[in-house]
Structure 1
Amino acid sequence: MKRIITIMTVILVSAIGFGQTDSIRGNQFELKGKIINEISLTPHCGYFAFGTVIEFEIIEFSDLNYKLDSIAVIFTCPEFYEDGFFEVGNTYTITVADENQADFGWTIPNESILIKYKLDDKLWVIKADKKE
């Protein structure tokens, strides 16, 4: 009986210890900012996975190495956000990662916007909340 309890304890501890891994790829950053330019929404995701680049005036950004006053991030499948979510001038708190979270590529029609920001890595939105 002791042996069974010991084996079960080892299995349980191993499952808990090794099963808890961070599912976010890459480095994470917190951004608080206001949308500064008109938004170009994409078709709904389906056979093709669409994303759109949205530019923000930075209020706060956890990447202390970033020096510009504005930044552009990629929202994947923007139709998953509620109607009226994206509005110029509104403030948002956003969690971004510097690595694509999907195992596939995205079709981003306005990807050229990212060029002017000269980022080492694209910033992919993981979570976004609109502040009223």
Structure 2
Amino acid sequence: MGLDISLVRITAHEVDDNNFLLAEESPELFSLFQSYIRKKHFVFSDEEFDAEVYFYAELAYQRKGVIPTFYTDFTNDVCLTKQSQVAHMLTYIDAKHKTDFDTCFVKQFKEGQTVIIIGW
């Protein structure tokens, strides 16, 4: 799987069937967004269960454009919740993507309202 960086807004209701984070796997969100935790019902061929989730709306998305040290200095499957963390990410974006990342992620990030999801 490749790199995925998303800027999202945590929402009170489901926006898209695939736009959710499991609450138990996202403890960094609890202090800011605990009032947004909802139950989602999952049905698979071999099991059915409810889980606590955070729903979100995606505001920006990037699949590439980071320098190699990004993968050692950042953690896979984590959410960034602070403006300083997001601004620091800009130093890991390659020259070709830096302006777009600054415009679409750094300047659009609102601490306490939006989150950056990183995964690879």
The answer to whether the superposition gives a TM-score over 0.5 is no
Structure 2 length as normaliser, TM-score?
0.30
Structure number with greater Rg is 1
- Normalised to the residue count of structure 1, the TM-score between the two structures is 0.28
